[in-house]
């Protein structure tokens, strides 16, 4: 059986989506899903392609026991809809951009990350780029909660 493939998508792929990728990779590695799930991230814009994650993202990850040092930003390509089982947008703007790129048969693969944690009471992971460290801490907390929900979803999908 091919691996279940997930890609997290934000605007520039230097703040939120790399954090989500690293968190999800860690959760997958801590379970028995490690050999059945692949995780990636990308941005809808090309501004930061090839660059490392924002230093504040790397800092919040490091302070919380994660390692995001290997990340390099990529831009989401429409052809990736064929390759990924779940395309997770970090906010409604990213969701709209992804749905505009998706052929009708792929639109059901695209979801908001926060839909996997309804108890959080928010739809979007706010973009912390123009704020301070507290915005990155808040984004990480939201992402961790939602990624636990994604893990449960993926476990159910891969058990079939």
127 part of the active site: yes
111 in active site = no
Catalytic residue from among 91, 97, 117, 127 = 127
| Rounded-to-integer distance, Cα 52 and Cα 28, Å | 22
Of 16, 25, 56, 74, catalytic = 16
The region, left, alpha or beta by phi > 0 then psi within -120 to 50, assigned to residue 50 is: left
CA distance 55 to 65: 15
Q: Is 72 labeled as catalytic in the residue annotation?
A: no
How far, in Å, CA of 18 to CA of 21, rounded? 5
Contact 72, 21 (CB under 8 A): no
Q: Is the C-alpha dihedral spanning 126, 129, 135, 136 positive or negative?
A: positive
The residues carrying an active-site annotation are 10, 16, 127
């Amino acid at each position: 059986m091919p691996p279940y493939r997930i890609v997290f998508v934000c605007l520039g792929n230097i703040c939120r989506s790399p954090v989500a990728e690293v968190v999800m990779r860690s959760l997958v590695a801590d379970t028995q899903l490690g050999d059945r799930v692949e995780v990636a991230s990308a941005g809808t814009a090309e501004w930061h392609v090839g660059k490392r994650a924002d230093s504040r993202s790397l800092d919040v990850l490091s302070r919380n026991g994660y390692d995001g040092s290997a990340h390099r930003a990529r831009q989401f390509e429409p052809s990736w809809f064929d390759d990924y089982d779940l395309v997770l947008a970090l906010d409604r703007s990213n969701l709209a951009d992804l749905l505009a790129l998706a052929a009708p048969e792929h639109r059901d693969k695209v979801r908001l990350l926060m839909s996997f944690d309804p108890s959080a009471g928010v739809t979007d992971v706010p973009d912390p780029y123009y704020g301070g460290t507290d915005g990155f801490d808040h984004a990480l907390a939201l992402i961790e909660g939602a990624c636990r929900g994604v893990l449960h979803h993926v476990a159910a999908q891969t058990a079939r």
